[in-house]
Amino acid sequence: MVVLDYGSGNLRSAVRAVERAGAAVTLTSDLDLAMEADGLLVPGVGAYAACMRGLRAIRGERVIARRLSGGRPVLGICVGMQILFERGIEHGVETEGCGEWPGVVERIQAPIVPHMGWNTVDVPVGTRLFAGIEDERFYFVHSYAVRDWTLVTNDRTPDSHQPRVTWAEHGGDRFVAAAENGPLSATQFHPEKSGDAGAALLRNWVNSLV
Amino acid sequence: MSLAVRVIPCLDVDAGRVVKGINFKELRDAGDPVELARTYDAEGADELTFLDISASHEGRATTLEIVSATAEQVFIPLTVGGGIRSVEDVDRMLRAGADKIAVNTAAIHRPELVAEIADRFGNQVLVLSVDARRAPGTDSGFEVTTHGGRKSAGLDAIAWAVQAAELGSGEILLNAMDADGTEDGFDLELIEAVRREVSIPVIASGGAGAAEHFPPAVEAGADAVLAATIFHFGKVRIGDVKQSLGDAGYPVR
């Protein structure tokens, strides 16, 4: 698999964590390699606008879209998840995202922000990412989140593509902690920093790659 | 559902070796930060903090290697502080594998550094470390110190915490210099005073001597608790602290 290098994130941790999950990993910004890989991991930390700039600079948003058109797995982590949505609003500045999912990334409404530390998650029926680790805590660190899941599906949507959305709560606010939707998966928390629980989640994802 | 109270051991590292006596029977090499990090991870530490006290350039370069080696093997968040003076220092540490950077004296001398780091890397990487002590003449009753608590920085501690949060600090590491080393418990008034004024997470540090000292710090408003000596000497284990917090009704991992 490939960890996409577009100048964002603690890449070393991401690479080591998926290696530990049993994957052969290449860290690269080469789009052919990113396209050919069995799985593409999109990390991301810092500001939404900076991440999108970095991603667009290597045309990363195209390789994400093309992989998904072909049903090929992509996993976004932290801001790497947020940029999959339509747009992000930070400090009043609106930035267009990849738009693979509808929805907006906005500031968490809680007394203490950033949401920093190990939190429990509310896992949906049918999850593959959280199989066997439904009751674990995961490490979050973020001030912005997706507070409404608005993707339209109906009962003719194949079961494999029915979105499975995992939620987290902090200070009375509720937001998306993870989403699984056909080939596209993402976590707001950092599995690569979430100890054994995070390792198990990455293993679940790596094992799902054909 | 709510966040677990984070329990954070802090290691003082000098030229790649842990200083301050470490007394774990099960360790082969008690001075090896990587082995200690693994041990604390296995014991359930929620994060790790390395404080680099190296005086020399070579010593700090060695610390960078230690950070790399730790990040390769330990999959919980790692904060590194000590001697961070510039955006370049932060960049080097993050590239080595640190997740968060603690700044202290350099931010006092040049508060813009806080904003520079936050703008470049996001405020989630930045921990403002505040060494505070009681000072009756100040507005809040607490002042900022430097040189390990020996010198006044001429700043009100609470006002400084508020300013740093506004500049983009993601978290405050609050070191109570009056309580530090006493093992009599945390400085609860200091924690309360900071908690009242800032809306970013607060890590309480200084004064812990027993597992039962930790719940009152959380009651006073700490989101996380940090200690060094009592963990290193095995006097209190990470599990003891979590047990005590759990018994008091606080969520732990």
Asked, for residue B252, whether it belongs to a domain, the answer is no
Distance CA A59, CA A30 (A): 10
For the record, the structure tokens of A100 come out as 């693979």
pLDDT of amino acid B147? 87
B71 contacts in A (CB within 8 Å)?
10, 12-13, 16
Task: Name the token pair of A23.
Answer: 């994957």
What is the distance in angstroms between the Cα of A1 and the nearest Cα belonging to chain B?
Answer: 19
Answer whether residue B155 is part of any domain. yes
Give the per-residue pLDDT at B204.
Answer: 98
Instruction: Report yes or no: B241 and B214 within 8 Å, Cβ to Cβ.
Output: yes
| Beta bridge partners of residue B80, listed in sequence order | B50, B101
- Taking only the tens of pLDDT, chain B with its 253 residues reads 599 999 999 998 888 888 765 555 566 566 889 999 999 999 999 999 999 988 788 888 888 999 999 988 899 999 999 989 999 999 999 988 999 999 999 999 999 999 999 988 889 999 999 999 999 999 999 999 998 888 999 999 999 999 999 999 999 999 999 999 899 999 999 999 999 999 999 999 999 999 999 999 999 999 999 998 888 888 899 999 999 999 999 999 9
Q: Is the peptide bond before A114 cis (omega within 30 degrees of 0)?
A: yes
Residues of B in contact with A142 (CB under 8 A): 124
In DSSP terms, B102 is beta-bridged to B81, B127
Q: Residue A138: which pLDDT band, with cuts at 50, 70 and 90? A: very high
Q: What is the pLDDT of residue B95?
A: 87
Model confidence at A174, in pLDDT bands (50, 70, 90)? very high
* Token output for A122: 């509310």
The one-character DSSP state at A62 is H
Q: What is the CATH number of the domain that holds A76?
A: 3.40.50.880
Which of A4, A103, A96, A116 has the alpha carbon at shortest distance from A53?
A96
As to burial, measured by CB atoms within 10 angstroms (0-12 exposed, 13-18 middle, 19+ buried), residue B189 is middle
The answer to whether A40 touches A67, Cβ cutoff 8 Å, is yes
Considering only CA atoms, which of A119, A185, A173, A180 is closest in space to residue A148? Answer: A173
Can you give the pLDDT at residue A13? 85
Q: How confident is the model at residue B14, as a pLDDT? A: 87
| Interface residue B65 vs chain A (CB under 8 A) | no
Which range of residues forms the domain containing residue B17? 6-247
Domain count, chain B: 1
Phi, psi (5° rounding) for residue B79?
A: -105, 135
State the pLDDT at residue B46.
Answer: 98
Q: What is the per-residue pLDDT for B23? A: 57
Quote the domain boundaries for residue A74.
2-208
Q: Residue A168: pLDDT band by 50, 70, 90 thresholds? A: very high
Q: Cβ atoms within 10 A of the Cβ of A125, count?
A: 5
Q: Tell me, what CATH number does B20's domain have?
A: 3.20.20.70
Chain A nearest CA to B233, separation (Å) = 24
pLDDT in the model for residue B30: 67
- Asked whether residue B1 is domain-assigned, the answer is no
Nearest to B75 by CA among A112, A169, A179, A201: A201
pLDDT in tens, A83-123: 999 999 998 899 999 999 999 999 999 999 999 999 999 99
What is the tally of structural domains in chain A?
Answer: 1
Backbone angles phi, psi at B227, to 5 degrees: -150, 160
Among A13, A137, A142, whose Cβ lies nearest the Cβ of B124?
A142
| Contact across the interface for A194 and B75, Cβ inside 8 Å | yes
Average per-residue pLDDT in chain A? 95
pLDDT digits (tens, 9 = 90+) for A4-26: 999 876 788 889 999 999 999 99
Q: Which two tokens stand for residue B189?
A: 């008034």
Count chain A–chain B contacts defined by CB atoms under 8 A: 101
What is the C-alpha end-to-end distance of chain B, expressed in Å? 12
